[in-house]
A = this chain, B = another copy of it.
């Protein structure tokens, strides 16, 4: 039986915001320290791509450069990231994650994954397989990249 794209879109639009709210809520509930979802995403990205510029991060997060600048300001203020000048092109920043930033990022990830894992533990195993396949397909559609998981190194 055929599944039109409209139907899949409807279901995604219904369910994704619900899950996202849970994720946000879990990440906010850990304290201290607190990492918001964008903060976590920024740390994670720079951690994987050492020496990223501000625009690299902005593109990855889907934020404007000013918003990203403020976000990075905050992370630096909390000692989770550093901002260096590059001799090659003095306009471009060279961002890097500090040890503490790395630790906080891992902690935030673990906390959230533990929560999600717990939610998924009692479900039908076939459903979990379907979810994994769906996430891979969606990742491809929305990023052009078929591979999930580089993020986790």
Contact = CB atoms under 8 A, between A and B. Distances in A.
A135 B5 contact: no
A146 to B, nearest CB: 12
Tell me the number of copies of this protein. Answer: 2
A129 B8 CA distance: 8
For the complex, would chain A's binding face be called helix, strand, loop or mixed by DSSP majority?
A: helix
B149 A117 contact: no
22 contacts: A1-B129, A3-B125, A3-B131, A5-B118, A8-B116, A8-B120, A8-B128, A8-B135, A12-B131, A13-B109, A15-B135, A15-B138, A15-B142, A16-B19, A16-B23, A22-B62, A123-B141, A127-B133, A127-B134, A127-B137, A131-B138, A133-B134
